Amino acid sequence: MIEFESLEKGQVIGSHTVQVNRADLVRYAGASGDFNPIHWNERFAKEVELPSVIAHGMFTMGSVIDLVSQWVGNPGAIIDYQTRFTKPVVVEDPEGTTISVEGKVGALDSEARTARIDLAVSAHDSKVLLKCQAVVQL
């Protein structure tokens, strides 16, 4: 369990990578009901001027928050989560793509006993999410 008093602004909570391949996208499409062909059909994705198949935004967002969930030890402690999508996560075939995530304490509210965790998220050396922030109740 994370102790609120042990946290400092700027403190790194950890980092991890998420490996994603096209089979992951097909499974996510089945689970979410989002069968947009830009997520599984390379020909179609290129026809609409994407570089290739791209990951679902919600797949990316859901994969990224796992860092905070593991750090805090209780997914229910995450009381807010938001981001801005800036660039698509292109998923090459067959090798897939690596999404890199690093989390830092961005702000602390001692009265509410919350910590805002700022997440830096990149793929292919580009930031794919901006203002990616989770608020954790401690």
Give the Cα separation of 106 and 125 in Å (integer).
Answer: 22
Give the Cα separation of 13 and 67 in Å (integer).
Answer: 8
Q: Which residues contact 15 (CB under 8 A, 6 or more apart)?
A: 67, 100, 101, 102, 103
Model pLDDT, residue 23 = 97
pLDDT band at residue 97 under the 50/70/90 scheme: very high
Residue 16 above 90 pLDDT?
Answer: yes
CATH: 3.10.129.10, 3.40.1390.40, 3.30.460.10, 3.30.9.10. Which one for 9-137? 3.10.129.10
Model pLDDT, residue 14 = 98
Residue 9 above 90 pLDDT?
Answer: yes
pLDDT > 90: percent of the chain: 99
Q: What predicted TM-score, i.e. pTM, was given to this entire model?
A: 0.94
Average pLDDT (22-29) is: 97
Model pLDDT, residue 1 = 80
Average pLDDT (9-29) is: 97
Q: Where are the domains of the chain?
A: 9-137
Q: Which of 60, 65, 47, 56 is nearest to 29 (CA)?
A: 56
